[in-house]
Amino acid sequence: MRKFSAVVSLFFALPAFAEGAPVFKKDKLTIETAAHTKLPFTVEVADEQPQREEGLKHRSSMPENTGMLFVFDEDNYAQMWMKDTQISLDMLFLDSHGKIIHIAQKTTPESTDIISAKRDSRAVLELTGGTTEKLGIKVDDHVIYPAFK
């Protein structure tokens, strides 16, 4: 497991008509809570560097039950920020099994403060700020998605 620090710009990509904007694959995932509630989400997947760099930048809204999933090639000390992101997010840091290891709730739009977990993660799931509180999503819940063992 190789550790590295990489500030990853979050926040949704520019509108589809923007020249050079990365294209994001849309997919479905489920969050399974400790109470065995299964919560479905549609996500845009950022699994390549240009997508990770663009993230959710410049988006002014995000529909309910949607998000962006940043998937890394290996476990790493992921560092995120809110630069150029106009909406508050909940950032869920996930291990290689999809277990939620840290949640940063209601992040501050446009902030350049670094947001990270205290340990390596394989992915970061961004949801609209307040979603985890509203739906009762907590650390140790699981994200079910093919990228996780």
Counting as low any pLDDT under 50, the low residues of the chain are 1-18
Please give the structure tokens belonging to residue 133: 């509180």
In angstroms, the Cα distances linking 120 to 79, 93, 100, 112, 113 are 10, 9, 12, 21, 19
Do 111 and 133 meet the contact criterion of CB atoms below 8 Å apart?
no
C-beta of residue 111 within 8 angstroms of C-beta of residue 5: no
Structure confidence at residue 88 (pLDDT): 95
What is the C-alpha separation between 107 and 116, in angstroms, rounded?
12
pLDDT, residue 117, reads 94
Q: Assess contact for 103 and 90: CB atoms under 8 A.
A: yes
User: Which two three-digit tokens encode residue 94?
Assistant: 């996930």
Which pair of structure tokens corresponds to residue 111?
A: 């902030």
pLDDT score at 87: 92
Q: Residue 46: what pLDDT?
A: 86
Beta carbons of 68 and 82 less than 8 angstroms apart: no
What does the pLDDT look like over 38-58, one tens digit per residue? 999 999 998 877 777 776 677
Question: In the prediction, which pLDDT does 20 show?
Answer: 66
pLDDT of residue 13: 33
pTM listed for this prediction: 0.82
Instruction: For CA atoms 107, 109, 114, 120, give the dihedral sign.
Output: positive
5-144 in CATH: which number?
A: 2.60.120.1140
Q: What is residue 27's predicted lDDT score, i.e. its pLDDT?
A: 95
